[in-house]
Amino acid sequence: MYVEDPLYLSRYPYRLLDDLPRQCVPFAPNAPNSGPTHLVGIARQGGESRGERPGRSEAVTQWDEGSHETMDANAIVAERGYWWAGDAAERYWIEIRIEIRKVPGIGASLYCPLVDQAGHRSGWYDIVDGVEVGDVVYHWHAIESKFVGRSVAAARATVADGVRVVPLKDFQPLLGDINLADIRGRAGVIECVRDQLSAKYPGKTLYLPFQFRSDGLRLMSNYFAKLPRQLVLDFFGESGMADQHASEPDEEEAVDPSSPSDVTRSFLQPFKPKADSDYVALVKGGFQKRGRTHETLVNKFTAWLTIHGLTPGRNQAIDIGLADPAVVVEAKVVGSWPTAVRQAVGQLYEYRYFRVADPRAGLVFLASKPVPDEWVSYLERDRHIGVAWHEGDSFHLTHMARAAFGLP
């Protein structure tokens, strides 16, 4: 039995939640007819704001792991009556990462508990069960207030030790920057999509990731939410990669963009040389296309590492990466030392911070020619980045770079 709770609404007037339907929260203390397990229905509008709140749960029923394991994602979506049930085009989600360091690896997996801290079921956690193989997950970095990439669901959710896990694959950094200012600039479109969905699916929770607050639109603090296809097209374009927002390459690394890469590199896959095709790489402040000269340097250094008993890998962003020992290499065909070093430092730290690479990884700057002493000193003493460069038919590595690779 559910009852209205005027005391709750008066005590927590700033509580603005996702959509229009009713959900349940633990009954507010001292409310009429309340008991230890009493639940209250709360009418919800807009998006959820941060602040004190008794809880988020929809029910306090016991979780049945057995039934979870026997139903596929589509069956779960249909059974729970989600608004996107039966619509194959609505295959997009958003992961909102607040505690970046709690679960390493943006784009490695979705990871959320079955119940909240109070031990109650959460509808926002439960929707993770609806992720189907091949669905696309966009990753929002809450600290940086921007989208940092997207991944693909490699399998449906499994449950172990009270936690749901969805393995992801094919992480790709977006080609352009979509941040909170961009989202707020689309507030009208977002509200329109929300209102259309509310009218089309009356009484259903939309599970949208947005808060509509008096101080401006922002993303919710919930871990996971649904991203309607119409908004995906508006945010990220037809490619889904926000390439309409990509920055132009710097002069010393500009190449002919007429032959974009058709190769997708996922989270530290085995290294595959690419000598001829251009591709997109993340740099501090944007993305750049790179071509044959850069790839030749990368391929030669990879071969050198392999000869020395190491196993290089790579992904969409990282030139060369090793899992054991954990090392990230950023290669530069140098035209200007200040520009090359600044870009490399920014990239290496971003890769490690955003967990595109192992957060414990050693960092190495690889140059196409000998690095002047002053830059070696800056990189190693101040930035703790090892240095290597192409020299003749081989490569020179400083002591710090050799130590990072575990070489004598």
Domain boundaries, the chain: 65-236, 247-405
Fold for 65-236, please state it.
Answer: ph1033 like fold (3.10.590)
With cut-offs at 50, 70 and 90, classify the pLDDT of residue 399. very high
What pairs with residue 289 in β-bridges? 280
**CA angle 14-16-19, nearest 5°?**
165
With cut-offs at 50, 70 and 90, classify the pLDDT of residue 314. confident
Average pLDDT over the chain, rounded to an integer: 74
The number of C-alpha atoms within 13 Å of 106 and in the hemisphere containing its C-beta is: 29
- The beta strands (E) that lie in 154-268 are given as 158-160, 163-172, 210-213, 216-219, 224-226
With cut-offs at 50, 70 and 90, classify the pLDDT of residue 92. very high
In this prediction the pTM is 0.50
Q: Which CATH architecture has domain 247-405?
A: 3-Layer(aba) Sandwich (3.40)
**What mean pLDDT is predicted for residues 329-352?**
90
Distance CA 408, CA 402 (A): 7
Distance CA 200, CA 408 (A): 66
pLDDT at 71 exceeding the cut of 70: no
Contact between 321 and 339 (Cβ < 8 Å): no
Distance CA 164, CA 321 (A): 29
pLDDT at 331 exceeding the cut of 90: yes
Task: Supply the pLDDT for residue 38.
Answer: 29
Task: Supply the pLDDT for residue 103.
Answer: 52
Highest averaged pLDDT of the listed ranges 186-190, 195-199, 244-248, 315-319:
195-199
Distance CA 354, CA 158 (A): 25
Highest averaged pLDDT of the listed ranges 9-23, 123-137, 314-328:
123-137
Q: Each residue of 148-178: pLDDT tens digit?
A: 889 999 999 999 888 999 999 988 888 888 8
Alpha-carbon distance values, 333 to 93, 141, 363 (Å):
38, 30, 17
* Of the candidates 156, 169, 164, 136, the residue with the CA atom closest to the CA atom of residue 76: 156
Spatial neighbors of 328 by CB under 8 A, at least 6 apart, are 318, 320, 321, 348, 351, 352, 357, 358, 361, 362, 363, 364
With cut-offs at 50, 70 and 90, classify the pLDDT of residue 76. confident
| Identical fold between 65-236 and 247-405 | no
Percent of the chain residues topping a pLDDT of 90 = 39
Alpha-carbon distance values, 204 to 2, 21, 44 (Å):
18, 6, 11
More confident residue, 6 or 379: 379
Q: Each residue of 21-52: pLDDT tens digit?
A: 323 333 233 333 333 332 222 233 334 333 33
Q: Each residue of 170-216: pLDDT tens digit?
A: 888 888 888 898 899 888 899 999 999 999 999 999 999 999 888 88
With cut-offs at 50, 70 and 90, classify the pLDDT of residue 357. low
**What mean pLDDT is predicted for residues 362-372?**
95
- Number of residues that make up the chain: 408
Q: Each residue of 251-273: pLDDT tens digit?
A: 444 333 333 333 333 344 455 44
More confident residue, 402 or 251: 402
Q: Each residue of 99-122: pLDDT tens digit?
A: 644 455 678 889 888 888 888 888
Task: Supply the pLDDT for residue 104.
Answer: 54
Distance CA 272, CA 250 (A): 26
**What mean pLDDT is predicted for residues 286-299?**
66
Q: List the single range of 90-99, 226-235, 289-298, 304-313 with lowest mean pLDDT.
A: 289-298
